Amino acid sequence: MKTKKVCFASVDVERNIENLNKILATFEKYKIPVTLFVTGKILKQQPELFKKLERDYEIACHGFSHRFWDNLNFEERKKELENFVNFYQKIFSKKPKGFRAPSHIIDYDGMKLLEDWGFLYDSSVVPHYPPFKKYRGYKGRRPLFPYYPQGKKILEIPVSGQLLGIPLAGAWISRLPFWFYNFLFKIYTPPFLTLNMHSWDALGRTTFQFLKKLEKLLKLLKNKGYLFLTGEQIYDLLSKNR
C-alpha cells in the first residue's frame, strides 16, 4: 500500500439496476476489478444475476433493506445482518467479507456487531465530508488510508476522495466537468482513494454522458499509475503485512 497508488472501485446496488451491466462493462473494458455492495432485497429479487456476477466481482453487503443504522436499535441492526448473511450463504455457500452501511452511517458499536457476524472489512467511514451536509457517520478517528480502528480486528477501508476530500462518486462525476478532475490530478495524486457510485447513477437521459465521463476518469487513473483492488484484495494485502 505504501509503494503504489491504490484505488478501490465499488458500486452500491440498492435499486434501479437496469443499467448496472453498462457500468460494469465500462470497468471491464479497462480490466478494473469492482466490489458490488448489494442489499439483501436486491439479492432476493435477482439471485441468478448475482450468482453470475459473483464469478467476476466481489459481492459485499449493503444491509438487507437499506434502512439507515442511526434509526435502528441493536436488535434491529442485528436482524438486518442476520437476514443478509443467511440469504448470502444460501446463494453463494460462503460468508460475505465486506460491508458498507447505507448512507455511510456507521458507529463504533456497529463495527463491533460486524465483527461478531464475521465481516473482515467495512467501507463506510468518510474521512472528509462536504461542509454543507450534516455527517451522521462515524465520529472516531478517520484516516485517509485503510486502517484498523482502535480495539478492532475489522479493517476500515475509508471512502477517501481527492484534494480536500472532493469525492470520486457518481453524483459528483455526473455534475462536475471532466476537466475539473483532470486539473485536480495535475495538482495532487492521492496515494489511496475510492471511486464509488450507485447502480442508478447511469439512468435516464444522462446515461451516455455519465458513462463517457466514467470512462475518461478510468483512463486518467490508469495513466496516473493507480492499482485497482477489490475490498477483499485490500484486506488480504494488509492482513498479511499486519
pLDDT of residue 218: 97
Q: What pTM was estimated for this model as a whole?
A: 0.94
Query: Under DSSP, is residue 195 helix (H, G, I), strand (E, B) or coil?
Result: strand
Check residue 140 and give its pLDDT.
73
Q: Where along the chain do its domains lie?
A: 5-240
Digit-coded pLDDT (tens) for 158-168: 999 999 889 99
The confidence score (pLDDT) of residue 224 equals 96
Paired with 156 in beta bridges are: 122, 147
| pLDDT digits 0-9 by tens, 32-80 | 999 999 999 999 999 999 999 999 999 999 999 999 999 999 999 999 9
Cell of 171: 453524483
Domain 5-240 falls under CATH 3.20.20.370: yes
**Which residues are CB-neighbours of 233 under 8 A, at least 6 positions away?**
33
pLDDT value at residue 3: 53
Residue 141, pLDDT score: 74
Helix (H, G, I), strand (E, B) or coil at 197: strand
Regions of the chain with pLDDT less than 50: none
Output the pLDDT for position 132. Answer: 63
